[in-house]
Structure 1
Amino acid sequence: MTTEARRIQLQDNLNRTREAIAAACAEAGRDPESVRLVVVTKNFPAADAAALTALGQTDLGENRDQEAAPKAADLAARGLDPVWHFVGQLQRNKARSVASYADWVHSVDRVPLVDALAKAAAAHGRTVNALVQVSLDGDTSRGGATIADLGAVAERIAASPGLALKGVMAVAPLGWKPAEAFALLAECSATVRSVDSGATEVSAGMSGDFTAAIAAGATMVRLGRNVLGEREPMA
């Protein structure tokens, strides 16, 4: 249950975050409507996700299926239908569950995962919007296709019923200047658009670097603590 004080806090944080995004867009000469805010609700209760949805925050993100699936079911039982974004690393054995509720999967990074996700989406009678996660520094242990493999993953998504190729996603590697990382991601976006000209989404930017991401052309920013505050991981 969300208290009135928590609702007010979330509304205030949401307003400040949207203002910060608008300011970054103004600095970059962009329309604020061109950037979608995805509030990442991981480690926060379903009551917070429900409150955000009621406050008009359409897009919510999660990065672990074991937390996301029951949270999505909880909101559905309340009659709420946010747009769910799965933003964490995804294993093939979780594809069927994720495809049942996620409208967007930002972390598609290898052909076998494409195939599993497409099969799962088809089984649920759904179309899942897919972004190719790119490992900008080539260290795939943290998720992401190498730049060399980017085109092949994009082509497989584009050819898969049940999936819609929408663009790219990346996390700025540790030690990199965000502007350099997101400039490279912009080049990767061009590669994916050569596969499908409509795949124009660029998911980039978190709490510490979303301004740089917007300056480099991000169309989605993934923010959590800006809106929800700090919280210890849920048990």
Structure 2
Amino acid sequence: MTLDTIRDRIARAEARAGRAPGSVTLIAVSKQQPEDRVAAVLDAGHRVFGENRVQEAATRWPPFRARYEGIALHLVGPLQTNKARQAMEMVQAIHSLDRPKLATTLARLADELGHCPELFVQVNTGEEPQKAGVLPGDADGFVAECRRLGLPVRGLMCIPPVDEAPSLHFALLAKIAARNGLDGLSMGMSGDFEEAIALGATHVRVGSAIFGARPG
């Protein structure tokens, strides 16, 4: 599958859902992808990318940013507090704000640095013990605490369980976002982004459908 194909599918999903054209941001998740594949997507004009690990992003993106203008990086994987400063100096959005300690750290660094990326609170909609994210029942309180800290919470993010219908989790995330006055919904990946768009996704995170399977 190609970038153009994914763009076309997003545009059609927007139209079917009665959404404005271009209302969904495509995040090309480039984690562990070879440099030549990333360069090909950049050469095709795409500029919004997602990385899972701060260290990989810090190694990969400075050379690309020297060659291409307008790159926006989104951290879509877990963030350790000891990597928070490095992340905040490098990315435009963090999609994995998932615990009070990280919120406090980001707030302190925002005061020091004078800026903060857009933030998405990760919600563990499936209440899976092995997965990061605040539980649905704790989401309202956590969003309120982040706002009290002055953090720029743009929206919510989820990764549905692999063995359940993703639409149920997308609908739950949209409901939590609506009651908290949040309009950002980071949900939907290569296999289900059209369902996510139908249920209000503003950001979809697509990797293998654009780049192909990761080597190894």
Give the TM-score of the pair, scaled to structure 2.
0.91
Alignment equivalent of 2:165, drawn from 165, 171, 177: 177
Structure 2 residue corresponding to 1:150, chosen from 131, 139, 144: 139
CA separation of 1:174 and 1:164: change in aligned 2, threshold 3 A:
same
1:56–1:183 distance in 2 versus 1, CA, 3 Å: same
SS across alignment from 1:60 = strand
- Separation in 2, partners of 1:25, 1:79: 28
Residue 216 of structure 1, aligned match among 175, 199, 208: 199
Give the superposition deviation at 1:166: 0.3
Counterpart position of 1:202: 185
The 8 Å contact of residues 92 and 113 in structure 1, kept in 2 or not, is answered as yes
Q: Residue 127 of structure 1: CA displacement?
A: 2.1
Residue 42 of structure 2 aligns with an amino acid whose one-letter code is T
Q: Which 5+ residue runs of structure 2 have no aligned equivalent?
A: none
**Structure 2: how far apart are the matches of 1:147 and 1:35?**
24
User: 3-state SS of the aligned residue for 1:52?
Assistant: helix
Q: How many Å separate the matches in 2 of 1:143 and 1:89?
A: 8
What is aligned with 2:56? 67
Report the counterpart of residue 117 of structure 2 in structure 1: 128
C-alpha change, 1:124 and 1:184, in structure 2 (3 Å) is: same
- What is the Cα deviation at residue 54 of structure 1? 3.9
User: Using the alignment, how far apart are the partners of 2:24 and 2:210 within structure 1?
Assistant: 16
Q: Number of residues paired by the alignment?
A: 216
Compared with structure 1, are the counterparts of its residues 53 and 125 closer, same or farther at alpha carbon in structure 2 (3 Å cutoff)?
A: farther
**Unmatched 5+ stretches in structure 1:** 1-11, 194-198
In structure 2, C-alpha distance between the alignment counterparts of 1:119 and 1:77, rounded to whole Å = 30
Determine the structure 2 residue equivalent to 1:187. Answer: 175
Task: Find the partner of 1:42 among 31, 34, 41.
Answer: 31
Classify 1:164/1:231 alpha carbon distance in 2 versus 1 (closer, same or farther; 3 Å): same
**CA 1:73 to 1:160, structure 2 compared with 1: closer, same or farther past 3 Å?**
farther
User: Whole-Å Cα distance in 1 between the matches of residues 2 and 76 of structure 2?
Assistant: 22
Cα-to-partner distance string for 1:1-36 (whole Å, 9 max, x where unaligned): xxxxxxxxxxx8111110111122222222231111
Aligned CA distance change for structure 1 residues 140 and 88 (closer, same or farther; 3 Å): farther
Q: Are 1:151 and 1:192, in contact at CA under 8 Å, matched by a contact in 2? A: yes
Task: Indicate the RMSD between aligned Cα atoms, in angstroms.
Answer: 1.9
1:56 has 2:45 as partner: yes
Aligned equivalents of 1:46 and 1:144: distance in 2? Answer: 30
Cα deviation 1:86-133 (Å, max 9, x = unaligned) = 001111111111111111000101111111122234433322100011
Deviation digits for residues 150-209 of structure 1 (CA, Å, limit 9, x no counterpart)? 122212322334x3110101011122111111111111112331xxxxx31100000111
Equivalent pairs: percent with the same residue?
Answer: 38
Give the equivalent residue in structure 2 for 1:103: 92
Letter in 2 for 1:212: E
Structure 1 position 79, deviation (Å): 5.0
The aligned counterpart of 1:16 is 5
